[in-house]
Amino acid sequence: MATKTSTRKSAEAKKTVLVTGAAGSLAKRVIAKLHGRYNVIAVDFRRKVETDAGIPSYLVELHKRGFEDIFAEHRIDAVIHIGRIFAHEKTRQQRYNANVLGCKKLLELCRKYKVGQVIIHSTYFVYGASAYNPALIDEDAPLKASEVTQDLVDSVELESLANIYLWKHPELNITILRPCNVLGPGVRNSMSILLSRSLVPVLLGFSPLMQFLHVDDMSEAMVLAFEQNKPGIYNVAPDDYVPYQEAVNQCGCRKLPVLSVPPSLPKLVATMLNWNAFFPPYLINYFKYPVILDGQRFRDTFGWKPRRNLNDIFTYYRKQKLVATG
Amino acid sequence: MVAAFPEPDFCTNLMHSGGSRLEAIFGSARGIDSIPMLSLGSLDLKQRIATRLVTPEIEALVASIPKPLGSFGYDPWGYNEDTFKVALGAARLLYDHYFRVTAHGLENIPSEGRVLIVGNHSGQLPMDGALVGVAAATNPFGPRLARAMIERFFPTVPWLGNFLNALGGVIGDPVNCSKMLDMDEAIIVFPEGVRGSGKLYKKRYQLQRFGNGFMHLAMNHRAPIVPVGIVGCEETMPALANLSPIAKLLGLPYLPIVPSLLPLPARVYLNFGKPMHFSPAASEAEVTERVEDVKAELRTLIQAGLAERTSIY
């Protein structure tokens, strides 16, 4: 009897964390790390996620009314907002609704139900890829992605929105994380889909430096950001760099050279050949000019260091191809 | 087709000797199945050239440069040691045998720690930057990788942008300079910019207007300034006129009329002065005064070089 009570008590004492985008590879890892120590609630807009016992799972779109029921039903202490629609998944309008309006709804609900902490998963794309970028961009740099393309407006707006809430509502304890390219098993972002392919487009004469992070390291970073609760904006990136074309080689891909001059040509090729999922026309500039993040603030503040190096990351993609070819 | 590719052990040898970097520099045709034989032949040639250029002396010099790099041999700005070695080998030949450089005061370049090397700019093409870079990298008092600030349009030029980055070149953005000084790097600065490099021959050895940015960097980051008076580069490409309307159309900073498209073999004299230290200034007027101090020092060093020179070519 006594043990039962104490179990219940400890269950009550545990914080409740809502994780969005639960069907994705990163969120799955975050949930696995939190499970046991916290009450976890999994939410996704794509499908109802199969979860371990004790993890309630919901299929809901953030900008729809049903989302509020989850907040009403559970006393949520923290939200880890990972779920976002990638540009290749829906139209620009749908993406805006889900990513920007969805995030606004989420933050409003967090205020209404007095959620004490929000972690927001952003992206390094917000800085924009430009020939004039300095290297080691820090968090205070302007977000110039919408200058590059309209297709990234939702990413930048999501950030601006989160930023407004970060300063206006300090009680939400918002932490915004801007990771570099996240790769690894199960990751379905465009870079991961690209490096999983055997034939990969490269722009002739351009091999921008890039940073890569293993999805396990990113999930650790997110859990640390949640547990240590130090609100603010942080780049999440290792201090290791590799040119894109070298990464392509290391992942065992063959290169498909694409003429890079005039600048509109590769965009046209990507559009015509429908490379939306892995080499989308609006990301062409990211394969041309480097966007190198200074991740020192996050590393110092949270005492975090990636545990997998570039070779560990690339090995997965190399092996994947060996298995595929038998 | 596959059989025509280099054998795996050949590839491994290439990797060890920096051949893969070469492939990155000159581009590779491996992705195109139709011309593997060509690729094999040219790679072989490139490797032979690289072996000739990267002498044991160059290897030893580059190995002794204090420079932290990532697991693939790159720093955050794209500098790559293997590419740098080959280019240094080639530039060293030009330095010794074509421009026959005489350098004084190399002991003034600190062997470690942050420093701004500030020089007078001339010669249309940035040969002066390259020669100062070679002088720093082969400095018997402690080799340094001295990073050149490159024009902002270079990263948009295919191959060239990546190549210049691999040699240590970085676009002249104040954020880049700040971060590099924080990381104790050596930076070459020409505060005249294109005003200096693009000036006509009749204005040779006259310092043009200096920006104040370098002085702010030096003060804010407590970095010493090592002035270098460069004599000879003016004569490598004497410009008689500047076709500025055409240059503007082409998006170039200037388009000179020159007697030769290749730099002429003028003898070059580099005079490095004593490090100058500056504490934070109270006003911009004071900053400008300090810039004048540096200019005065540069004029002295240039005069020393001109006095020393007995023959232009």
Assess contact for B98 and A266: CB atoms under 8 A. Answer: no
Q: What is the pLDDT of residues B84-135, one digit of tens each?
A: 999 999 999 999 999 999 999 999 999 999 999 999 999 888 899 999 999 9
Measured between CA atoms, the residue of chain A closest to residue B77 is A135
Output the pLDDT for position B21. 40
* % of chain B surpassing 90 pLDDT: 67
- Amino acid code (one letter) for A219: S
Which amino acid type is present at position B31? Answer: G
Residues 6 or more apart whose CB falls under 8 angstroms from that of B157 comprise A205
* CB contact B8 to A (< 8 Å): no
The per-residue pLDDT for A326 is: 62
Kindly indicate the confidence band of residue B250, based on its pLDDT and cuts at 50, 70 and 90: confident
- B4 has pLDDT over 80: no
- Give backbone dihedrals phi and psi of A310, rounded to 5 degrees, phi first: -60, -40
Residue length of chain A = 326
Q: Are A283 and A203 in contact (CB under 8 A)?
A: no
| DSSP code of residue A125 | G
What residue in A sits closest to B69 (Cα-Cα)? A240
Give me the percent of chain B exceeding a pLDDT of 70.
86
- Over residues A208-228, the mean pLDDT reads 97
pLDDT tens per residue, range A265-313 = 999 999 999 998 999 998 999 999 999 999 999 999 999 999 999 999 9
Predicted pLDDT of residue A66: 87
Judged by CB atoms closer than 8 Å, whether chains meet at A205 and B158 is answered as yes
Q: Tell me what percent of the residues of chain A surpass a pLDDT of 90.
A: 75
Residues of B in contact with A242 (CB under 8 A): 70-72, 74
Interface contact B153, partner A, CB < 8 A: yes
Check: CB of residue B124 under 8 Å from CB of residue B258. Answer: yes
Q: What is the pLDDT of residue A147?
A: 77
φ, ψ for residue B248 (rounded to 5)? -65, -40
What mean pLDDT comes out for the span B190-203? 91
**Nearest C-alpha neighbor of A74 from the set A93, A55, A91:** A55
Residue B13, pLDDT > 60, answer no
Which domains are present in chain B?
A: 2-53 (no CATH), 81-308 (3.40.1130.10)
Question: Hey, is the C-beta of B36 within 8 angstroms of any chain A C-beta?
Answer: no
> What local confidence, expressed as pLDDT, does residue A271 receive?
93
Q: Tell me the average pLDDT of chain B.
A: 85
- The mean pLDDT value for A48-60 works out to 85
The per-residue pLDDT for B220 is: 95
For residue range B261-272, list pLDDT tens digits in order: 899 999 999 999
pLDDT at B156 over 70: yes
Tell me the pTM. 0.86
pLDDT for the residue B222: 95
pLDDT score of B43: 63
Q: Phi, psi at residue A11, to the nearest 5°?
A: -65, -40
Q: Indicate the pairing of strand A117-121 with strand A78-81.
A: parallel
- For residues B146 and B148, give the distance between their C-alpha atoms in angstroms, rounded to a whole number: 7
| B173 in reach of chain A (CB within 8 A) | yes
Mean pLDDT of all residues in A203-225: 97
Q: Residue A72 burial by CB count (10 A; 0-12/13-18/19+): exposed, middle or buried?
A: exposed
Measured CA to CA in angstroms, residue B166 lies from A176, A242, A243, B169 at distances of 33, 12, 10, 7
Compute the half-sphere exposure of residue B198: CA atoms within 13 Å on the CB side of its CA. 14
State pLDDT tens for residues A140-186.
999 988 777 778 888 899 999 999 999 999 999 999 999 999 999 99
Q: What is the pLDDT of residues A71-115, one digit of tens each?
A: 999 999 999 999 888 766 778 888 888 889 999 999 999 999 999
Residues in A touching B70 (Cβ below 8 Å): 239-242, 310
CB A179 within 8 A of CB A213: yes
CB A154 within 8 A of CB A95: yes
Q: Kindly determine whether residue A310 and residue B74, on different chains, have CB atoms separated by under 8 Å.
A: no
Global ipTM: 0.88
**pLDDT band at B190; cut points 50, 70, 90:** very high
Question: Residue A152 in contact with residue A253, Cβ under 8 Å?
Answer: no
Cβ–Cβ contact B296 with A under 8 A: no
Reduce the secondary structure of B71-110 to three states and give it as a string. CCCECCCCCEHHHHHHHHHHHHHHHHHHCCCEEECHHHCC
Residues of A at the B interface, defined by Cβ within 8 angstroms: 131-132, 134-137, 141, 202-209, 239-243, 245-246, 254-257, 260-261, 289-290, 292, 294, 309-311
CB crowding A257-284: b at 16 or more within 10 Å, else e: bbebeeeeebbebbeeeebbbbbbbbbb
The mean pLDDT of chain A is 91
Q: Indicate yes or no: CB of B72 within 8 angstroms of CB of A241.
A: yes
Tell me: domain A9-325, CATH 3.40.50.720, correct? yes
